[in-house]
Structure 1
């Protein structure tokens, strides 16, 4: 049987003969999604940062700083939409570098807390960790359709995906602190989150550098 003259397979994006063009975020719907995600992260930062300061928790501190960094980097992503490939990839490179610096800061804070201070309240850590998980879950549902875009778009998804994992780690650390009356679960959680941030930073930096080379 011969194939029909009109195929029901979708054509390749772009020129019609090459690889599909990656989504660059240039749509009103995606801009609205980013604005919503920025608002979610900013609100979560205020809540978690308050708990981190009161409790002196490394895990909550990492969580709060990440919410703050996400708000800023998502705003950069929003600004970069519609710009040239070099600008978008440069914005992603900046986000990757800031994520790596955040990881180093968290590791330093965890070491400092290991040398001083009493254990934080486990119930508070767990409660705020679950609050963060809820906020990140809503953000992830909004962004999941755009997880395979260019470096700028993909970096937003990677940060949100990591935040889901991070919030569960924070909640689990709070439970262990409550069970053991020890600060070590909180400190270990902070260290684990820092390593997750480093892995994501490397992934974002690597993709953005490749896109910059391709655009040269």
Structure 2
């Protein structure tokens, strides 16, 4: 049988070159790398678990964009495997954030609301800008979907961080910070499940022989 006999997209199928998408990924990578540095320092200074969680999210996303750039234009199987790695990594980040959130719930530290609010607004502006740039490429294979899901979740998470800052300021307790960190952990795990499920489906499709194809 010819090489064109594939069930669904062929494992060797490559997407057309997309220079605009590549440029957007580079912008997203640089923005997320810079914001990781800002938030990890601010999270430590403010003793905010939600800022630390968001910093880890920025780091995870920077790695996500770097991997996406590396496999851009590769065969579907390669892109699906990359997405699978990203999905599992995102799930691990979610579990780490959940563990830190549980620890802070026991420690009952009260974070600095002013730092949380200022850095949260900066991170929100960065993530909304990146999400807006990536919106046109929100559909497609699991690798491309993983980029959009992470960017969308980041924007949602930053709205929650700003609300947490207001809650900490208003109540004088760390509970709003803890609740938001828990929500962000849930978003990470949920996104990981979506990405992993689609990546596994694509790998199954590319490895499934076409109906009627003769075995070698």
Instruction: Give the TM-score normalised by the residue count of structure 2.
Output: 0.87
Q: Give the CA deviation at 1:175.
A: 0.5
Separation in structure 2 between the aligned mates of residue 159 and residue 25 of structure 1, nearest angstrom: 23
Helix, strand or coil at the partner of 1:61: helix
Residues 1:132 and 2:123 are matched in the alignment: yes
The aligned counterpart of 1:54 is: 45
Residues 1:70 and 2:64 are matched in the alignment: no
Provide Cα deviations, 1:93-133, integer angstroms capped at 9, x if missing partner.
11110111001100110111122253011121111111111
The aligned counterpart of 1:9 is: none
Q: Give the CA deviation at 1:188.
A: 0.8
Q: Give the CA deviation at 1:157.
A: 0.6
The aligned counterpart of 1:184 is: 175
* 1:92 maps to which of 83, 95, 117: 83
Residues 1:109 and 2:100 are matched in the alignment: yes
Aligned residues: 199
Q: Give the CA deviation at 1:205.
A: 0.4
CA contact (8 A) 1:52 1:61 kept: yes
Separation in structure 2 between the aligned mates of residue 115 and residue 137 of structure 1, nearest angstrom: 33
Alpha-carbon RMSD: 2.0
Instruction: Give the TM-score normalised by the residue count of structure 1.
Output: 0.87
Separation in structure 2 between the aligned mates of residue 156 and residue 23 of structure 1, nearest angstrom: 18
Residues 1:27 and 2:25 are matched in the alignment: no
Q: Give the CA deviation at 1:135.
A: 0.2
Unmatched runs of 5 consecutive residues or more in structure 2: 208-216
Q: Which has the higher contact order (CA 8 A, sep 6+)?
A: 2
Helix, strand or coil at the partner of 2:110: coil
Separation in structure 2 between the aligned mates of residue 55 and residue 123 of structure 1, nearest angstrom: 9
